[in-house]
Amino acid sequence: MFVVTADQVGSRSKPDLVGDALARIEADHGAMLALPVDRNAGDELQALTGDAATALQLVLELTRGGRWSVGLGIGAVRTPLPEHTREAAGDAFVAARAAVTRAKRSATRFAAEAVADARPASDVEALADLLLTLRQGRTDPGWELYDLVTSGLTQAQAAERLGITAQSASDRARAAALRVEQAALPALTRLMESADAAQSQPASRRPENA
């Protein structure tokens, strides 16, 4: 399972962002969450999912703009699940707490942790950091094109919507590394799935002990 814990940056001096974020996440990803996304500790939000692609999307959305420190916890969750995410427990929640604490000191404001087998989570963090660093360098025009393409438009349709030529859209997509990101997402999702599976393997079957 995957726990995403996000702590609002500068919450003491900035308006509360948690309420709007909860509504947006529930609307966009609620069907893939094990429990409704929840407010935790005032300026934090917490989401639980068994779907690696959903967990990755939450990380990407929350780290965009630098308004959140985001921790990803990977591992087991105590069952049966309670009614609220903030009441749930297990290795994934312990790991997410450690991860969000480290994320506050990270240049990308992201960290990943696991309790039973830490190495796969470190691999996830390393590759996610590369992707997040790429995204941090994206310009506003690049994000404008990204938002249209990821909403379902083709690049040609996005160019028409933006009132630019197809060549200009292609140049913008290349500068924003849109294809690089889209190619990386499935690979990173598979790595997260492998990291999750590793948490339930006996220690004797883990690669470092083979």
Report DSSP letters for 17-84, one per residue.
-HHHHHHHHHHHHGGG-SS--EEETTTEEEEEES-HHHHHHHHHHHHTTS-EEEEEEES---SS--SS
Residue 26: domain span: 2-117
In a domain? residue 46: yes
Q: Look at residue 207 in the predicted model and tell me its pLDDT.
A: 55
- Cα Rg of the chain, angstroms: 18
In a domain? residue 88: yes
In a domain? residue 97: yes
Q: Look at residue 201 in the predicted model and tell me its pLDDT.
A: 75
In a domain? residue 26: yes
In a domain? residue 199: no
In a domain? residue 92: yes
Q: Look at residue 204 in the predicted model and tell me its pLDDT.
A: 47
In a domain? residue 109: yes
Answer whether 40's CB lies under 8 Å from 115's CB: no
Assigned token pair, 193: 């799935």
Which pTM was predicted? 0.92
Q: Look at residue 83 in the predicted model and tell me its pLDDT.
A: 94
Give pLDDT tens digits for 107-141.
999 999 999 999 999 999 999 999 999 999 999 99
Q: Look at residue 205 in the predicted model and tell me its pLDDT.
A: 55
Give the count of domains, the chain: 1
Q: Look at residue 13 in the predicted model and tell me its pLDDT.
A: 74
H or E segment and range at residue 2: strand 2-8
Triad 103, 107, 111: Cα angle to 5°: 30
pLDDT under 70: residue ranges of the chain: 202-210
Q: Which residues contact 15 (CB under 8 A, 6 or more apart)?
A: none
In a domain? residue 30: yes
Q: Look at residue 67 in the predicted model and tell me its pLDDT.
A: 94
